[in-house]
Structure 1
């Protein structure tokens, strides 16, 4: 008889051992599946009572304006020339500088000025006035007075009543006072035929000499109140003498 041998199966006699395997984390997240993902929980804002700050309030001082210093106005510029003056009150005075040489006020003239010499002397003028004096004949004496150091800040000249003078004679006279700060020249008054021509030359002086002001006596004399002239219309009564001296003084700022 044939004997069949049945296959045998080995049976482990011990329990299996499982060794854990650690895999490094993947840099790429695992793919998302179609499975539903739970939504993130809603954020709830809860009101919290914050106590008021106990720090003292900040006080901002009121703006303080920076005080401004008001400077005094600058002194007025000196007035050394007024051109041709026909109204002394309206012209304003000349500015007489203070100098340390000569006489303060010198007046040179003919018989018209001679009539008012006392009034001028009372106002501080040194007066050299002679009857019938003419400009051309006076030039040598005028140079002596100048060279003697008598001319100071002011020289007043009234010549031209007793005869005509040329441009050359007038320029020679002006050359003697070109360095005097203030020179006042008076025009003539009267019906003598040369006075008009002389006055035209005198009125032109301020155009060429910045230190010269012309007191237009021919015009200003008509403003003298009362009876100011004798019958010749040239020489001065007492009222005219006072007015003559006062007009010269006012022009020089002496009141």
Structure 2
């Protein structure tokens, strides 16, 4: 009986490990390649949840008066976000007619969609002071809505990543720039790497090396079929893409084999 129990326990552990090892899909700037949606929109987040993917990635910027808004570029309609008060930005429309969202609005919507992870990218800012300010503001809002387990942080700025590790030591934080080996990421206290697929073509060994260190491996932004296939075959944990449905179908097809 004990032998049977040991075998069953081993099989269960193997099943859990295999499930964890399967690549999952993140919608880049939300699921915007669908009717009524737009990049970094509230609808994009909702559509990503409807598509049943692991997560929805989005970008945030800090206005001159300290408001965190959801937008990729640091300039919108000729206005530099970091040099402009929110009052002058609040009525600017996205391509689907929505206003540029506040981070707080985005989080409120995400709170109602607990099945999807919110992958919050904090864009690099011109000064370290601005970077420290937006990192603190993001962590504060995430804590306000009790979403510490639902939000993951990413950034191209190592300073921002280090601030996040300090401010939210239990949070998942990944570095985007691709110029740091997994062992160095681990040493800094981050929980993952989130590198361009081009970096993994150059350093394919980094995928398994990172995973062996307990780091999560994400890859961005993978849109071509051949690249999607290659990254899935490499065994990355997460795959960020604009081709949400195609990527999800490819992952599901691989799991079914």
State the TM bucket, normalised to the shorter chain: 0.3 to 0.5
Q: TM-score, normalised by structure 2?
A: 0.36
Higher relative contact order (CA 8 A, sep 6+): 1
Q: TM-score, normalised by structure 1?
A: 0.36
Question: Would you tell me which structure has more strand in proportion to its own residues?
Answer: 2
Report which of the two structures shows the higher radius of gyration computed on alpha carbons. 1
Question: Would you tell me which structure has more helix in proportion to its own residues?
Answer: 2
